[in-house]
Structure formats: structure tokens, C-alpha cells
């Protein structure tokens, strides 16, 4: 394709700040014991089932998991699930990095079923076949998984109402003003950082920085730090065998008591109970 203005250099105005991190990919069988009430996690889920009978229930109503279709449950959505029979269940847990939690809750506030795409859906089936054959650790499978997640997330953005895509685009563009602070928090969430230090990264006064951060991110710096810590702690509870005291320390909480109190505030349960819940 020839550009309309060959002398103009094209680039993304928001830069490369949106990425997807794969946490878990697996193929299993779910049965009628696949149930959960008011489940909330910070990570996203992608589901593809081979039979009907499973359903997701949220504040937006019942969402049937249609066989062969790609379903997405965004992070921070609270939902319940139920199932009537044995079903082949392909799932991926993943993070969308670069979109603040406050914006995710506002734009992606319910489960979604993607519009059918024969080429994309066939590619997902090929990935399912690889996983079923036991190929879960090769670089090629990881790359295929990530590329399909980007494809699915792109299709989700394309089928959102225009008002929501505009809100997402505007928020990501606005975040550029405080991006150095956001990036620093994301990389150093486990350390104690002052607003003065974060403001200096953005070349702002402290008062102005706090105001701009809240306008751009939807949370105060302190709220963003705490949610970032809690999110990472929750993932460690699921995907590692680390002791809860160690997780509290590694994610920046002073002690297990304080960690448990903050965790319960976010998830309505303690860390030990959260760790025991079945997650597929």
C-alpha cells in the first residue's frame, strides 16, 4: 500500500505501551463441579469450549459459553460460573499491560464473546491441538499463544461501542503525561517510592503530579501502587508455592497481617482462601 503522503513519517502516537503477558495456557475437562460464586481476579481469561452447558453469570446477565466461540472475561470483572456436563475446556490466563485497572473496569465491564472469524478460530483450534499433544513449553507455542491473544484482543476492541474505544484511546493518550511514573511503579511496585520521586520523573511539582496522575490513570498514585501490589500478590498465590509471608514481603507489604487486611479489602477473602480456589 502506497502512503498518501510519502514524505510523512508515520508512528503510533501512544507508543508501544500496550502488551499482553501470558500467565497460563491449558486444556482440561470441566464437569458439574466447575462452579464459583462472585469470582474476581486481576488477570483476564480466554475460554473455548467444545460442548454447550457452561455459563458465566455477571451483573450484565447470563453469558452462555457457546461451543467453538472465543470468550473473554476481563480482569476485575466479578462473575459466577456453572456447568451441567463434562466439557472440553481450553483456557488462557493473561494480563493486559498498559491499561490501568480503573479503565479496564470502566471499558471492559463484562464477559464478551468475539464475533466469529474462521481464520482466527481455526488458528486457536490448532493451538488447542498442540496443547493436547503436550507441547506447552516450546518458544513456538508461546509465540503462537501470544499472537492469538493479540488477535483476539484486537477483535474485542473492534467490536466495542465507539464511545468505549474512544474512551480507551483518549485515556491511553492522556496517560502519556505521567507514563514515566506509571512505568516506574510497574517495575518497582515492591519498593517504597514517594510522590516527590515520581513527580520528578515527570518533571512536575508534587501537587500538580498527584492531580494529573489521578486525571490520567483514574486513581491516586498510592491507590495505583497498592492495586499493583495486590494484583502481583494474587498471581503469586496462584502460580507459585511461596509462603504467604514471603509473598507479602516480596510485593511490598510490611507484614502478613497488613497484607491480609488489604487483600481482603480487594477480594472479599483472605490470601489463604483465595489460594485454595479452583481456577480454570
pLDDT digits (tens, 9 = 90+) for 253-274: 989 999 999 999 999 999 999 9
- For residues 100 and 136, membership in a common domain is answered with yes
Q: What is the pLDDT of residues 147-204, one digit of tens each?
A: 999 999 999 999 999 999 998 888 888 888 999 999 999 999 999 999 999 999 999 9
Q: How sure is the predictor about 16, in pLDDT bands with cuts at 50, 70 and 90?
A: low
Q: How sure is the predictor about 2, in pLDDT bands with cuts at 50, 70 and 90?
A: low
- For residues 129 and 62, membership in a common domain is answered with yes
Final residue before a domain boundary, out of 126, 160, 194: 160
Instruction: Say if 11 falls within a structural domain.
Output: no
Q: What percent of the chain shows pLDDT beyond 70?
A: 94
- For residues 104 and 61, membership in a common domain is answered with yes
Q: Output the domain CATH number for residue 259.
A: 1.10.10.60
Total structural domains in the chain?
Answer: 2
What is the reported pLDDT for 12?
A: 46
- For residues 24 and 153, membership in a common domain is answered with yes
Final residue before a domain boundary, out of 160, 191, 218: 160
Instruction: Say if 13 falls within a structural domain.
Output: no
Q: How sure is the predictor about 5, in pLDDT bands with cuts at 50, 70 and 90?
A: low
The answer to whether residue 109 scores a pLDDT higher than 80 is yes
* CA–CA separation, 136 and 45 (whole Å): 18
Whether the CA torsion 140, 155, 168, 279 is positive or negative: it is: negative
Instruction: Say if 14 falls within a structural domain.
Output: no
Instruction: Say if 240 falls within a structural domain.
Output: yes
Q: Which DSSP state fits 49? A: E
Find the domain containing 227 and state its range.
173-276
- Report the chain's mean pLDDT, rounded to a whole number: 91
The answer to whether residue 9 scores a pLDDT higher than 50 is no
The answer to whether residue 276 scores a pLDDT higher than 60 is yes
What is the reported pLDDT for 279?
A: 79
Strand partners, 27: 90
182-199: b (≥16 Cβ within 10 Å) or e: bebbeeebeeebebeebb
Instruction: Name 90's Cβ contacts closer than 8 Å, sequence gap at least 6.
Output: 26, 27, 47, 48, 49, 124, 128, 131
Q: Output the domain CATH number for residue 74.
A: 2.60.120.280
Final residue before a domain boundary, out of 160, 195, 218: 160
Amino acid at each position: 500500500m502506497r502512503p498518501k503522503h510519502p514524505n510523512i513519517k508515520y508512528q503510533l502516537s501512544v507508543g508501544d505501551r500496550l502488551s499482553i503477558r501470558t500467565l497460563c495456557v491449558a486444556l482440561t475437562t470441566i464437569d458439574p463441579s466447575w462452579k464459583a460464586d462472585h469470582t474476581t481476579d486481576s488477570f483476564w481469561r480466554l475460554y473455548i469450549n467444545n460442548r454447550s452447558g457452561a455459563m458465566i453469570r455477571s451483573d450484565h446477565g447470563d453469558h452462555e459459553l457457546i461451543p467453538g466461540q472465543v470468550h473473554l472475561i476481563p480482569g476485575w470483572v466479578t462473575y459466577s460460573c456453572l456447568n451441567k456436563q463434562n466439557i472440553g475446556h481450553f483456557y488462557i490466563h493473561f494480563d493486559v499491560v498498559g491499561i490501568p485497572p480503573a479503565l479496564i473496569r470502566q471499558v471492559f465491564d463484562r464477559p464478551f464473546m468475539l464475533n466469529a472469524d474462521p481464520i482466527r478460530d481455526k488458528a486457536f483450534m490448532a493451538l488447542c491441538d498442540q496443547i493436547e499433544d503436550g507441547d506447552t513449553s516450546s518458544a513456538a507455542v508461546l509465540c503462537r499463544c501470544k499472537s492469538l491473544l493479540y488477535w483476539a484482543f484486537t477483535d474485542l476492541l473492534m467490536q466495542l461501542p465507539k464511545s468505549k474505544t474512544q474512551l480507551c484511546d483518549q485515556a491511553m493518550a492522556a496517560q502519556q503525561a505521567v507514563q514515566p511514573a506509571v512505568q516506574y511503579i510497574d517495575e518497582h511496585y515492591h519498593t517504597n517510592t514517594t510522590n516527590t520521586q515520581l513527580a520528578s520523573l515527570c518533571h512536575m511539582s508534587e501537587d500538580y503530579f498527584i492531580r494529573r496522575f489521578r486525571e490520567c490513570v483514574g486513581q491516586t498514585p498510592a491507590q495505583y501502587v497498592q492495586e499493583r501490589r495486590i494484583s502481583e500478590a494474587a498471581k503469586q498465590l496462584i502460580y507459585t508455592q511461596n509462603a504467604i509471608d514471603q509473598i507479602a514481603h516480596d510485593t511490598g507489604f510490611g507484614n502478613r497481617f497488613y497484607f491480609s487486611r488489604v487483600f481482603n479489602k480487594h477480594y472479599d477473602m483472605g490470601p489463604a482462601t483465595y489460594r485454595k480456589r479452583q481456577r480454570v
